[in-house]
Structure formats: structure tokens, C-alpha cells
Amino acid sequence: MIIAIPIEKEQFDSTISTTFARSNYFAIVDKSNGKVQITENLFKDIQKGAGIKLFHWLIEKQNIDALLAFEMGYKMQQMATEASLQIIIINEHSKTLNQLLEYMNINPKTAFSS
Amino acid sequence: MPRPRQKSKIQSPPRAKAFMPVGYYKQQSDAIQLKIEEFEVFRLLDYEGLTQVEAAKIMQISRSGVARIYEKARFKLAKALTEAKKINIEGGENMFDNNWFECERCDSKFNSTDESKIGACPLCSSQNIHQINE
């Protein structure tokens, strides 16, 4: 299972972004082999339709099958439901990427070396 | 007898179950019951900034139905803020867009992608999960 996680900074101790489509970076976590890849969000400065473009990029280029977010827009949620992706909504955005990886039993040191 | 209310569609369950006033209250005044569809209308119109027509489409009820629910939601919230009452968010005539589950270990909410039952939380793999229905 590949999960897209929106994060504020390009670091493993970064907190989860409160917005989904306009977050600064994305962590693409592959739960099956424990690999994590952090990429810049190329669509965050687009004035209109950032969510739709980002969604297609995540689906086609990153092959994700789950989204993790603190809060996401209604369009993003509709698209994710239609594409039958799993949506995970966390309760606090103060959680860091490290803490989430810990939940998923992924060691950040081995994940980052990929 | 009036006809039963149309069920409105809810995108995601509200994050909090209740809100409490902070301050000097020896005796808790009775709570305001904010229905889930009232919360959802309030969220769609004022947080997402949609128009009533767009919100009606998402919730699958009429535009005037949205306006009625919004009116009630605003009155209830104003009353709760003015009279410093607890707000419970529960109940109402609604159904969720997806099957939503809550994990008791990491407090995250997640939906099921197909009709089959989910056995574990996708985040922490805990099996201590329960379905959110109402």
C-alpha cells in the first residue's frame, strides 16, 4: 500500500500540513517495503485547480492507493472516493512524519537511504 | 403526520463529538444538540466557502433544505456561544458517504474502499477499530 502524506518541510521531523493540495512537500510511503520518498509539491502555487492536478499526478506517477490528511477539500475527497482510494484522517496535525512512520513500523533511517 | 426528513449525505464524520465552554460554571447548563447534518452544512458553506446550490448537490438534498438546516445551525451555535452551553454533535437524519472507521490506538479515521470489512487500521495496523455510524 502506497500512502501520500502532506508535510510542511523536507524533513522527517516535519509536521503534517493542515491543507492537502497546497502543502509544501509530500512523503510517498510504501508500506510494503518500508521505503519513503519526499517530493516537492509542484502544484502548490497554482491559483486554480491545484487539487485536481495534484490528484492526477499522485495517481498516475506515484501509484498511490491511500491519502493521509488532517483536512482535505471536498473535491479532493470526492475524487478519492470515486477512485476508491482509502482516506485516512488524523486527529492532530501536530504529529510528525516520524511519529506516523513509527505507527507504520517503518524505520526512518533505513527508509531515507533509498 | 409530517413526512420524514430527507437523509442528507455527510462527507466525513465531525472531528469532535462535543464542545465545552471554559470558565466559572459550577452547574453545567444543559447542552445544545447540534445535528451532524447541521454541522456539515455549516462546514460546507462557511469553512469550504461553497454556495448553497453546491452544498445541496454534495449533500443530495434541495437548496431550500440546505438553507433551512443552515438557519437552524446558526441559531444553535449563536445560542450555545451566548448562553455558554455545551455543544453535542450527534444524531440527525443523515448517512455517511463512505463506511467510516475510527482507530482507538492512533485516533485516526479512515474509510473502507470496498464493501468488505476492514480488519485493521491502515496506519498503525491495530485491530482495535470501530465503525462510525449514525
DSSP secondary structure of A21-48: TT-SEEEEEETTTTEEEEEE-TTTT-SS
Give the pLDDT confidence score for residue B70 in this predicted structure: 95
Task: Indicate if the pLDDT at residue B21 is higher than 80.
Answer: yes
Task: Indicate if the pLDDT at residue B134 is higher than 60.
Answer: no
- Residue-wise pLDDT for A73-96, tens only, equals 888 888 888 888 888 888 887 888
**Domain shared by B61 and B87, yes or no:** yes
Of residues B75 and B6, the one with the higher pLDDT is B75
DSSP per position, A68-98: EESS--HHHHHHHHHTT-EEEE-S-TT-BHH
DSSP run (H or E) holding B19:
strand B18-19
This model of the complex carries an ipTM of 0.75
B124 contact A CB<8A: yes
Give the pLDDT confidence score for residue B73 in this predicted structure: 94
Which among A47, A45, A49, A42 is positioned nearest to A75, based on CA atoms?
A49
Beta bridge partners of A6: A26
Calculate what percentage of chain A has a pLDDT beyond 90.
0
Q: Which residues contact B118 (CB under 8 A, 6 or more apart)?
A: B101, B110, B112, B129
How many structural domains comprise chain B? 2
How many structural domains comprise chain A? 1
Task: Indicate if the pLDDT at residue B115 is higher than 70.
Answer: no
Give the pLDDT confidence score for residue B26 in this predicted structure: 66
Contacts of B58 in chain A (CB under 8 A): 74, 78
Nearest CA in chain B to A1: B122
Under DSSP, the state recorded for B18 is E
Determine how β-strand B109-111 pairs with β-strand A25-30.
unpaired
Of residues B124 and B62, the one with the higher pLDDT is B62
CA distances from B65 to B6, B13, B52, B60, B91 (A): 9, 20, 9, 10, 17
Determine how β-strand B32-34 pairs with β-strand B87-89.
parallel
- Ramachandran bin of B60, using left for φ above 0, alpha for ψ from -120 to 50, beta for the remaining angles: left
Phi/psi for A39 (5° steps) reads -125, 155
Residue B17 in domain: no
Give the pLDDT confidence score for residue B72 in this predicted structure: 93
Q: Do A66 and B15 touch (CB under 8 A)?
A: no
CA angle (A21, A25, A27) in 5-degree steps: 100
**Domain shared by B69 and B117, yes or no:** no
Beta bridge partners of B87: B19, B32
Give B87's Cβ-side CA count (13 Å radius): 23
**Domain shared by B88 and B105, yes or no:** no
- Residue-wise pLDDT for A31-49, tens only, equals 888 788 888 888 888 888 8
User: Can you give the residue range of the structural domain that contains A54?
Assistant: 2-35+45-112
Q: Which three cell numbers stand for residue B39?
A: 454541522
Q: Do B106 and A86 touch (CB under 8 A)?
A: no
Give the pLDDT confidence score for residue B127 in this predicted structure: 78
- Residue-wise pLDDT for B93-106, tens only, equals 888 877 788 888 88
**Domain shared by B57 and B77, yes or no:** yes
Give the pLDDT confidence score for residue A92 in this predicted structure: 81
User: Can you give the residue range of the structural domain that contains B62?
Assistant: 31-92
Residue A40 in domain: no
**CA–CA gap between residue B71 and residue B88 (Å, rounded):** 18
Residue B51 in domain: yes
Q: Do B110 and A87 touch (CB under 8 A)?
A: yes
Give the pLDDT confidence score for residue B111 in this predicted structure: 82
